A = this chain, B = another copy of it.
Amino acid sequence: MAVTLRDISKRLNISVSTVCYALNGGPRPVPEELKQRIIQTAHEMGYRPNRLAKMLSTGRTHTVGVVPTELSQNFASGPFFQEILSGAISVGQVQRYDVLLFSSYDQAEPEFAQTILDGRVEGLIFVAPRRDSRLLEAVANSGLPFVSVGAETVYPAPAIICDNVEGINQAVDHLAELGHRKIAHVTGELDSRDGRERLEAVQARLQHHGLPQMRDWIFRGAFHPHQGEAAVNHFLEIKERPTAILFANDEMAFGFIKECARRAILLPETFSIVGFDDVAGCAQCYPSLTSVRQPLADMGLAAMQALCALIGGQKPALRHVFPTSLIRRQSVVPPSQS
């Protein structure tokens, strides 16, 4: 069907090697006149090089794979994944790497490791993997370069993360300064580093400020909006209501805001709320959401750069911690007098 080097070589009665060298512009020299004739006929015949064949024979694919968060069932839907992806892609443009999304991903299948280690990619980016991921273990054993972004692994691979403790401190300090003394926390998935670290940081910082801590003020979530919605009931029903709530990510805060709107519960009057990640939606919700900014696009960018460095045989830093910053918006006000 498709035109091959062989077809061209036959047409011109020369060898495939010469055609190959001519079309690739090297490394073996080809007389200019002949080279032009080859390029010309290749064009006439509608020749298009087969990349798979090239990849197979050279062993280079110029492709990196992106592996979705194992926690999220619907893959690429969240802004977390998307912003990181967009950062990664912008580097790909420069470094000339294409990105393969393993969308045929199926958590249920134990042979998934086979799929991502089947030779199509030169390296992998894991977005927010779990610490105990069996996938990671298989990949680490395979020797294929990889980095993780948004979470640290137990393997000696570059991790691009944010400073959770700093971020939480900024949030708690802000609330404390305004006079909040009853601060609650809706946690993330506690199997993840981010979920656990943020919870611990909240507890440590509350203690640092000498603020009270109650069991009812910790609501266990898992990074999904749904748990934010569920939290509304919880915090309304407990005896001692908090005046401020710190969410482990924005998505849960959005769920909370939405549910409050549905039930006509005033925000920020009833609860001051703070999110984490500062995804695009924060600036645009009502009330706009004060949030700890984690520079996701920059992190995706750094992840891709680290991966390219690894592939290139360099040794990038194993830990790339990005600073957080508190973005203040309308969702936080001083506690109402009562």
Residue on B nearest A106 in the bound complex, by CB: B93
Contact of A50 among B105, B106, B119 (CB under 8 A): B119
Interface range for A: 35 or more
Q: Are B102 and A98 in contact (CB under 8 A)?
A: yes
- Across-interface contacts of A101 in B (CB, < 8 A): 89, 92, 98-101
A residues 75-115 touching B (CB-CB < 8 Å): 75-77, 79, 82, 85-86, 88-90, 92-93, 96-106, 114
* Proximity bits, A38-50, B CB within 8 Å = 1, else 0: 0000000000111
User: Which stretch (A12-20, A54-62, A240-248, A310-318) binds chain B?
Assistant: A54-62
- Across-interface contacts of A254 in B (CB, < 8 A): 284
In the complex the two chains form, what is the Cα distance from A117 to B47 in whole Å? 11
Q: Are A283 and B285 in contact (CB under 8 A)?
A: yes
Q: Is A286 interfacial (CB 8 A cutoff)?
A: yes
- Across-interface contacts of A2 in B (CB, < 8 A): 119
In the complex the two chains form, what is the Cα distance from A62 to B105 in whole Å? 13
Q: Are A103 and B114 in contact (CB under 8 A)?
A: no
- Across-interface contacts of A56 in B (CB, < 8 A): 50, 52-53, 56
Within the complex, what minimum Cβ distance (angstroms) separates A114 from chain B? Answer: 6
Contact of A103 among B50, B93, B103 (CB under 8 A): B93
In the complex the two chains form, what is the Cα distance from A93 to B73 in whole Å? 11
Q: Are B98 and A99 in contact (CB under 8 A)?
A: no
A residues 255-273 touching B (CB-CB < 8 Å): none
Q: Are B75 and A93 in contact (CB under 8 A)?
A: yes
In the complex the two chains form, what is the Cα distance from A69 to B317 in whole Å? 34
Q: Is A28 interfacial (CB 8 A cutoff)?
A: no
Residue on B nearest A93 in the bound complex, by CB: B103
Q: Is A32 interfacial (CB 8 A cutoff)?
A: no
A residues 18-43 touching B (CB-CB < 8 Å): none
Among A53, A76, A85, A282, find the residue whose CB has the most chain B CB atoms closer than 10 A: A76
Within the complex, what minimum Cβ distance (angstroms) separates A291 from chain B? Answer: 12
Q: Is A179 interfacial (CB 8 A cutoff)?
A: no
Q: Is A338 interfacial (CB 8 A cutoff)?
A: no
In the complex the two chains form, what is the Cα distance from A56 to B119 in whole Å? 13
- Across-interface contacts of A154 in B (CB, < 8 A): none
Q: Is A181 interfacial (CB 8 A cutoff)?
A: no
- Across-interface contacts of A74 in B (CB, < 8 A): 86, 90
- Across-interface contacts of A100 in B (CB, < 8 A): 63, 98-101
Can you list 28 A-B contacts with CB-CB less than 8 angstroms, sorted by A residue number?
A48-B114, A49-B114, A49-B118, A50-B56, A50-B119, A51-B119, A52-B56, A52-B61, A52-B118, A75-B86, A75-B93, A76-B82, A76-B86, A76-B89, A82-B86, A89-B101, A92-B104, A96-B104, A97-B104, A98-B103, A99-B101, A254-B284, A280-B281, A283-B285, A284-B285, A284-B289, A285-B286, A285-B288
Q: A92-B101, A98-B102 are in contact. List 11 more A-B contacts (CB 8 A).
A: A49-B114, A49-B118, A50-B119, A51-B118, A52-B55, A52-B120, A77-B297, A93-B103, A93-B106, A100-B100, A285-B288
Q: Chain A residues in contact with chain B, CB under 8 A?
A: 2, 48-53, 55-56, 61-63, 74-77, 79, 82, 85-86, 88-90, 92-93, 96-106, 114, 117-120, 142, 254, 280-289, 297, 330
